[in-house]
Structure 1
Amino acid sequence: MTTSTSAQPLKRRVAFASYVDENYLPGFLTLLRSLALANPAVCEDFIVLYDDLRPVSVAKIRNLHPRIVLRRVHEETYAGFVKGDPHNYLVRKAYFILDVFRIRDYDTIITLDTDMVVLGDIGELLRMRSGLGAVAQLFHGQDKLNSGLLVIQREYLTDEFCERIDRTGRSGEYELDKHDQGILNAVLNGGFVRIDPRYNFVKRRLSGNQPVPEDTVILHFTGRHKPWNGGEKGYEQAEAAWHEHELTDAAFRERFFALDGPKHPDLVRHYGRQALRDGTVLSVAHQVAAACLEQGAFREAAEILGGFRIPVRRHGSNYLLGTALMAESRYAEAEARLLLAAADPGGAAKAFGKLSQLRWIVRDDAGAQRYALRGLAGDPTDRLCGIHQRRTAVPGASDDPGQPRAYSSAAPAGDPSEQLAHVAFYMDGQGNAGDKVLPDSVRLCFGRDNGPAAWHPEHVHRLFDRAALERVNQRRGLVIGGGGLFIPDTSPNGNSAWQWNAADEMIRRIEVPVAVFAVGYNNFEGQEYARTRFNESLCTLAERADFFGLRNNGSVRRVRELLPPSLRDKVVHQPCPTTVLRRLVPGWQDPARRADTVLINCAYDRAGLRFGHDYGHFLAQMAQAVRTLGEEAEVRYAAHAVTDEKFVFDLRREHGISMPVDPMYDWSTERILDEYARTRLVIGMRGHAGMIPFGCGTPIISLISHPKLGYFLADIERPEWGISVHERELAALLVERARGMLRAHQEAVADVHGRQELLWRITRRNMDLLGDLMKTPAG
């Protein structure tokens, strides 16, 4: 294999592209409407190549798509091309679409002629991964392509391929009357990927006024006569399909919002803002608010629905508004809305689950228990009600839920003045296994007693109120971490816009030393914070903190960019303690023998951000890898969360492969570490499915669907241990690297130990500083 690690995309970038001028603008506007109506869940950048569009025309285009990218064509490039009729302006402009090959920002570009209308699902085109795809010309068998639709992969978006196009154009050695299409056929000489004709179904197939076949995905009005210019006799049924999408903006929006099924939040918010300006109905406002909520725009969602009088019977809208208000920390208003939602039997359990969470967040355990029980009475299977019923069933236990710690002291709660306070995400039973291990790992850096005698817990998601502040100020220091706490949507709140539910005023009033310890900046690509509130909270925390350590240098860079220059140097690298577990766990011994197993883990939270259009490709590639690696060792599945098991279900359903599952979400910390220490190799997508086994001394390969995995591998100077989930040859590359580690296992383990030593030295240096700060011996 020769695949370059640096060339692997973190996220495969896909775009549509068309050349548009004033004459073909009506066709392009209809194309945009048809694309949204036939594929409402699809929203990628749409590149508009242009040379003479007026501002009013650009405004019309932008009105129909939220992600328009304007690119002026390089007209001079085509001036020297030999043409059939150099004085015909349409002939001159026919070459401008070739400018798409000069674009370098995308991995896949799908070009669409402006005389097309989209009638069906284009998912197959979005999933194409290789070659240059096109439909063969109607009258030329399979030898030549029709350039109205092209699916172009990155290997054709190169200077070398552009030079071939330019050389052919200047030479005139192509079918001159076919313009851009003639050049491409001359350059490719039949070397293109054949796409089914229904994706570029040319009008000429319907001569004699034949109906459009039901399976047609894209209808192409080739020829001189276009539907917006009067059309052509004998194609009335075909042109009716085009005119069906010739709509006013208001009629188009009405049809879009009436569609059933999923819609892309970018499209919903774009069209919804227009509809809201013009005055709209609650059902549309509900969709727009839901899209805002999905993308973390909680205040916008609350403002949209707050402008309506929502009837009690619309429990879904009341629930949505209550959720948005809760995410803005407007708890009293949120509770009122959620109680209205709970008045409808159909949504009562869900609303009571959210109400129990709200009361738990504001530290009312009795209220949380009461709401949870009411929800469970209606639906005993409701997960959120179950979580908060268990959290608050034992008085005083809800700050520190979850499984008993494997290395906790049995001592009772200690003297507050001798304790450290610890703000962390304390995982419940059947929660994420990595988050279960984290609090213990952080505490072990500060000493071997990680139990209640030495530590006072404060759950990061609970409101940091005056009582919590007083409890913290009674301790000898505050540790905040670890975990990817800098993320906007795990437990949204309006006080900080990240996971710690603490207002700036309360942070400033902390009197004891503060250590931000091994926190991660965990945004997915394309995921945003409530930027102003987050930046203000971040600055307040950085000003107050005596130590500010982030778990990887990628997080350090991202956070420094958000801080003023005076605070940037305070942010330093503190590796996640899970990466040095062998050095921390009392009495640790490396295994004398390892089981002949390979553990695989995949993550499914925020799956759209992880996989994009490539999940089917990823699953097929992993099926190949699992089959092949099964010849080397027993391949098992390590489920960090219940939702992780989707991989096993999909693999069996789609590819007939069954895998034994280790339900780590049900295991104790001790058992998780034991399993990871005894296996030979871990292939993981979750951050802690890499960091924990690495910390146990086990070789790892990371399936990268989030920047943080790449950050960690860069820190240990082993980027080759990571493979993007979008990698075209994922199976072959994964098998090659896994075999290398399995067949030279002792060397691989020694390499892990050596890399770990780098992180341990950083941790020891930081703990020496923190030991002086918090009057505690270094771990």
Structure 2
Amino acid sequence: MTTAPSIPTAANALTGKRRVAFASFVDENYLPGFLTLLRSLALSNPSVCEDFLVLHDGLRTDSIARIRALHPRVSFRQVDAAHYDGYAKGDQDNYLVRKAYFILDVFRVRDYDTVITLDTDMVVLGDLGELLELRDGLAAVPQFFYGQHKLNSGLLVIQRDYLSDAFCAKLDEVGRKGSYELDKHDQGILNAVLDGGFLHLDARYNFVKRRLSGDLPVPDDTAILHFTGRHKPWQGGEAGYGQAEDRWHAYELSEAEFHDAYLSLPGAKHHDLLVHYGTPHVRRTGDVETARRVASAHIGAGEYQEAVDLLGGIRIPVDEGWAHEVLGHALMSVSRYGEARTELMLATAAPNRAATSFGRLAQIAWIHGDDTAAAEYALDGLGVDPTHRANRLMYRRTTSAKQAAEGAPAEQLAHVAFYMEQQGNAGDKLLPESVRLAFDRDTGPARWHSVHAHRLFDEAALERVNARRGLVIGGGGLFIPDTAPNGNSGWQWNVPDALLERIDVPVMVYAVGFNAFDGQAYGRSRDRFLSSLRKLVERSAFFGLRNHGSIEKVRDLLPAGLRDKVRFQPCPTTVTRQTTAGWTDPAERENTVLVNAAYDRAGLRFGHDYGHFLGEMATAVKGLGAHAEVKCVAHSLDDERIAFDLRREHGISLPVIPMYDFDNDAIRNTYARTKLVIGMRGHAGMIPFGCGTPIISLISHPKMAYFLADIERPEWGISVHDRHLGARLVERAAGMLSDHAAAVADVHGRQQELWKVTEANAADLRVILGGRTV
């Protein structure tokens, strides 16, 4: 591992997460149909918002604007119209015939894994979830008049295997030869090429108008109604289909009517749609409840300043407690703490928001180092709701036994970290101690001054740090915008630039990770993050990131003159056997396989594939049971969900190990004694690896692939989206278990390479610290 491994830049190339898009060919004549299609899609599937590819051969500027107003994620792609001039056609001069072939350009799409095409004379009436979950083949509804052999091309669910040059060549060959039903245009070509080889969907996903001849009612289970034929609803329609056309006209709405209709729908709504439709609605009406919902969506996506701007721009009545609480949450997330306190105090008057509001007031007090006030606010919150977990944890945090007396400042290093407490993430709990072990065997207060990353770094904190010999920042994925949001840095350490610049002891950034998920962005806090990051790199005597993927991401954000300061420092949990005093490998291991699954930001992890993942894990657990006892290891409370879901959906029961309640020694011992760990969290891979235990990573985050690339074992990872996840897990696990000694030896060998890097960096750190570590 002397050179940096090659890291793919696209996050979904690492996680295997499917990119899904809808697509339609649109021209000016069919624009009214397409606009109605977009409205119907949103109103029938309010929690779905995938990219929408608008294929076209030229659209007016005002038409593009109307489309953008209806969908937040449209991508306009001009077709290669001339490409289809060489196709044999039934009527070369008819413009409709010519344009009928342009939808075939969808097969030239290369940046999506699944594309769902919709004709512009369709209206969506029901849930399309089943289509979004499809992962294989090319799916369509068989034609109404021609039995099961031929498809209707109005709706196609196309997987990547068909989005290829090879399949396009087949289409071109048939099109140019004319060896298809010429009067069926694109549909004729597809049927000639596929010859019945497509996945059959139920008729309700492409329910053609002709089935309703005689003015029959539309069946209740119809998901997509297709107005095939010459007569379209926006052109006056056709006699004998009145009830069908009424369903289409129900979606022919003005902008205000459409926004009102979407916002009044019950149930979950997609963040992008809620923001896209709710924001203009709030500007037009000043509606407080809609503003509260849209601001909550912004907060959920880490868009804190956007939430402040929206809610702060309207008048909120005093008695609207929920809106005040959300605005208070947004304000504290951008470090406008005084304003946040005012809003949260107003919210405490509302019985249903009081506990949460007191909890946020307690958090603000704790951030400012006032444990007494934090405990009082938490107690007030518990008085409203004795079951409120955040208040209970804050009260314990601020009233528990105080830290032991520290040693002399001149003999200490200050350490900025995320110090996890009761029932917190096991990996985060172990990290601070692991970082300290990489510097010195004494990890206690005699040698270390703790600085919680999430507390405001103020003048008093600066004075305490500058009294120490140096400042260590790490480890963990601190470069992430939403775990502990603040407006001072844009990442987890709540440090203003002015105070960061005044630190006058050596600053050592040690094994920090860039932890953004596939699909996660910094929003308007990006500039604040970039400024803080650059100042941190400038100020650092040592700047080590825990994987080369993070190094690549951070270097891309830095000016050229700072990029070379970024170096590789493996996470110290990966070399636990080397740093832990008195470590001995277990003489015998329990015949167990520990499985960990993570559920934070589940939408970013799984997309539309959670049902697939759970089914494949059921297959894996059954198969692994023939080799060892399988247990669920929960780093946090939420991780237990896989045990609940497997039992409910597949009748499989897994014992649960509540690692969130373990101390650090118990965490290490548990991982050292098992034979194999299959983990989705980064530290459900790195910690057992550091303990010498073989691992297989369930990749739902780029950092998992980054680590495996660093140790040159990418085959130890399988995407949670893998089509054959269950079988592959069993196969790889069985291989490791059958020759377990060799698997352990491989882990030890890989670990030794990381230890060499760690030792080399330690030599540089000793120079920085004047020849000593602590």
TM-score bracket for the superposition, by shorter chain length: over 0.9
Q: How does 1:56-67 map to 2 (within 5 A)?
A: 56-67=62-73
Matched AA of 1:524:
F
1:667 paired residue number = 662
Looking at structure 1, the residues matched to 201 and 320 of structure 2 have their Cα atoms a distance apart, in angstroms, of 46
Alignment partners' CA distance in 2, 1:491 and 1:394: 22
Q: Once the two structures are superposed, what CA deviation does each residue of 1:423-456 show, in whole Å capped at 9, x if it has no partner?
A: 1000011100001110010000111100011111
Which residue does the alignment assign to 1:588? 583
Preserved CA contact (<8 Å) 2:483 2:492: yes
State the AA in 2 paired with 1:516: V
Other structure's SS at 1:519 match: strand
- Which of 126, 132, 135 is equivalent to 1:129? 135
1:767 aligns with 2:762: yes
1:140 Cα deviation (Å)?
1.6
Residue 755 of structure 1 corresponds to which residue in structure 2?
Answer: 750
Query: Quick one: which amino acid aligns to residue 757 of structure 1?
Result: Q
Task: Report the equivalent of 1:731.
Answer: 726
Q: What secondary structure is seen at the aligned counterpart in 2 of 1:345? A: coil
Distance 1:9 1:534, change over 3 A: closer
Whether the 8 Å CA contact 2:322–2:350 is kept in 1: the answer is no
Residue 516 of structure 1 is aligned with which of 503, 509, 520?
Answer: 509
Q: Is 1:75 paired with 2:81? A: yes
**What letter corresponds to residue 701 of structure 1 in structure 2?**
I
Counterpart for residue 565 of structure 2: 570
Q: Distance in 2 between matches of 1:725 and 1:342?
A: 42
Partner of 2:4: none
Q: Is 2:633 aligned against 1:633?
A: no
Equivalent residue pairs, number: 763
Mapped to 2, the partners of 1:395 and 1:724 lie a distance apart of 44
Please say if 1:308 is aligned against 2:314.
Answer: yes
Q: Which whole-Å deviations, capped at 9, do the CAs of 1:31-72 have from their partners, x for residues lacking one?
A: 001101111111111001100211111111111111111111
Q: Say if 2:395 is the partner of 1:389.
A: yes
Question: In 2, Cα distance between the equivalents of 1:464 and 1:359?
Answer: 13
Q: 1:408 matched to which residue of 2?
A: none
Q: What is the DSSP-based 3-state SS (H/G/I as helix, E as strand, rest coil) of the residue aligned with 2:451?
A: strand
1:648-667 pair list within 5 angstroms: 648-667=643-662
- Give CA-to-partner distance per residue, 1:536-575, whole Å, 9 cap, x none: 0001111111100000011011001111111111111100
Q: Distance in 2 between matches of 1:370 and 1:518?
A: 36
Whole-angstrom CA distance in 2 between matches of 1:580 and 1:776: 23
Partner Cα distance (1:750, 1:706) in 2: 27
Alignment of 1:250-329 (within 5 A): 250-329=256-335
**2:697 aligned partner:** 702
**2:684 aligns with one of 683, 689, 700:** 689
Determine the structure 2 residue equivalent to 1:340.
346
Q: Using the alignment, how far apart are the partners of 1:365 and 1:6 within structure 2? A: 43
Does residue 24 (structure 1) correspond to residue 17 (structure 2)? The answer is: no
Moved more, 285-294 or 87-96: 285-294
Letter in structure 2 aligned against 1:646:
R
- TM-superposed CA distance for 1:671, in Å, is 0.8
Which of the numbers 249, 252, 273 marks the counterpart of 1:246?
A: 252
- Three-state SS of the structure 1 residue aligned to 2:93 is coil
SS in 2 for 1:598: strand
CA contact (8 A) 1:144 1:190 kept: yes
Partner of 1:55: 61
Match of 1:438 among 386, 410, 431: 431
Change (3 A) 1:608 1:337: same
- d(CA) in 2 for partners of 1:85, 1:145: 22
CA gap of 1:690–1:417, structure 2 versus 1, over 3 A, is same
SS at match of 2:310: helix
For the 8 Å contact 2:15–2:701, the answer to whether it is kept is no
- Please, which of 418, 421, 425 is the counterpart of residue 414 of structure 2? 421
* CA 36–250 in structure 1, closer or farther in 2 if over 3 Å, else same: same
Of residues 427, 451, 454, the one that matches 2:447 is 454
What is residue 199 of structure 2 aligned with on the other side? 193
Shift of 1:732: 1.4
Q: Is the 8 A contact 1:594 1:679 kept in 2?
A: yes
Deviates more, 1:49-58 or 1:698-707: 49-58
2:708 is aligned to 713
480, 486, 496: which is aligned to 1:493? 486
Structure 1 unpaired stretches of 5+: 398-410
The answer to whether the 8 A contact 1:651-1:658 is kept is yes
Contact 1:11 1:705 in 2 (8 A): yes
| Aligned-residue offset at 1:313 | 2.6
**Paired AA for residue 458 in structure 1:** V
| SS state at 1:346 partner | coil
Cα pair 1:690 1:701 within 8 Å, conserved: yes
Distance in 2 separating the partners of 1:512 and 1:479: 10
Task: In structure 2, give the amino acid aligned to 1:69.
Answer: S
Distance, in Å, in 1 between the alignment partners of 2:559 and 2:634 is: 41
Shift of residue 772, structure 1, vs aligned partner: 1.9
Which one of 466, 489, 494 corresponds to residue 459 of structure 2? 466
- The answer to whether the 8 Å contact 2:52/2:74 transfers is yes
Q: Distance in 1 between matches of 2:726 and 2:19?
A: 21
1:164 pairs with one of 166, 170, 175 = 170
Deviation at 1:83, TM superposition (A): 1.0
Relative distance call for 1:491 and 1:8 in structure 2 (3 A) is closer
Moved more, 424-433 or 252-261: 252-261
Deviation, 1:394, is 3.4
| Counterpart residue type for residue 377 of structure 1 | G
Residue 312 of structure 1, CA deviation: 3.0
Shift of 1:357: 1.0
Q: Does 1:542 align with 2:569?
A: no
The Cα shift of 1:9 comes to 5.0
Could you tell me the TM-score, scaled by structure 2's length? 0.97
C-alpha deviation, 1:76, in angstroms: 1.8
SS state of the match for residue 726, structure 1? Answer: coil
Give the distance between the partners of 2:12 and 2:514, measured in 1 at CA: 22
Amino acid at match of 1:454: R
Say which is worse superposed, 55-64 or 606-615, in terms of deviation.
Answer: 55-64
Identity of aligned residues (%): 65
How far the C-alpha of 1:257 sits from its partner, in A, is: 1.1
Query: Given the alignment, which residue of 363, 376, 380 partners 1:374?
Result: 380
Query: Match of 1:593, SS?
Result: coil
Deviation at 1:203, TM superposition (A): 0.6
CA distance in 1, matches of 2:389, 2:585: 38
Aligned mates of 1:737, 1:77 — CA distance in 2? 46
Distance (whole Å) between structure 1 residues aligned to residue 428 and residue 771 of structure 2:
25
- Name the counterpart of 1:608: 603
Residue 477 in structure 1 maps to residue 483 in structure 2: no
Q: Give the TM-score normalised by the residue count of structure 1.
A: 0.96
The answer to whether the 8 A contact 1:597-1:681 is kept is yes
SS of equivalent residue, structure 1 residue 48: strand
C-alpha distance in structure 2 between counterparts of 1:196 and 1:338, whole Å = 51
Structure 2 partner of 1:149: 155
Contact 1:690 1:700 in 2 (8 A): yes
**For residue 615 of structure 2, what is the aligned residue in structure 1?**
620
Decide whether the 8 Å contact of 1:764 with 1:778 is kept in 2: no
